Homo-oligomer: A and B are copies of this chain.
Amino acid sequence: MADSLPAPRKRDPEGRRRAILQAATEIIVTQGTAALTHRAVAAAAGVALGSTTQYFASIDELREAALTELADEIDQSVAEMEATLDLDRIPEQLAKEVHAFLCDPRAVRADIALAAHGTTEPRLRELSLKWSDRLIEILSAHIGVERATAVSIFLDGAMIHAGLHDTPVSEAALRDALRSLI
């Protein structure tokens, strides 16, 4: 009768909050937003049910926070790509970076989930547009805004394609298409 209640783990508010957020993103990405429930998140994060409501007032808030997190992840990938972008070989470099991105199911599914929510919930549109707007901004200085937009659209399509196929488009095909568009 030592433990009437299971011993709570170490205190770590920030880490716990992130664990919950991380679990929520994982559920959204693997099972879709419909499966995002407090209980599912708690189980995935390995925390008590109450903890999920403690850090996020409502399920909508949690969902939005998770989508924001996913958008930030993608945006950061694009930002890192910007740093290493060789302006003399944009199509080749872009093809390489994007292909690597497409091979990451989490990233691809996150992007599609964001698009789906952006269409039905206008308030979340900015999240979905974050990385593509950034990409267009980066590229338009070098290839003009029209071509940059075309590239961005093509890459969005490549996301969809990757999400619906077992293997994404090849890097070579990506390169050819980007060369054509630029």
Contact = CB atoms under 8 A, between A and B. Distances in A.
The main secondary structure of chain A at its interface with chain B is helix
A129 interface: yes
Contacts of A31: 120
Interface in A32-73: 32-34
Interface residues on A, range: 35 or more
Report copies per complex.
2
Nearest to A108: B119
Given A173-B150, A180-B181, A181-B180, A119 B158 contact: no
Nearest to A128: B164
A25 interface: no
A107 to B, nearest CB: 12
Contacts of A163: 115, 118-119
Contacts of A169: 149, 153
A143 B65 CA distance: 45
A176 interface: yes
5 contacts: A119-B163, A149-B173, A150-B173, A153-B154, A154-B157
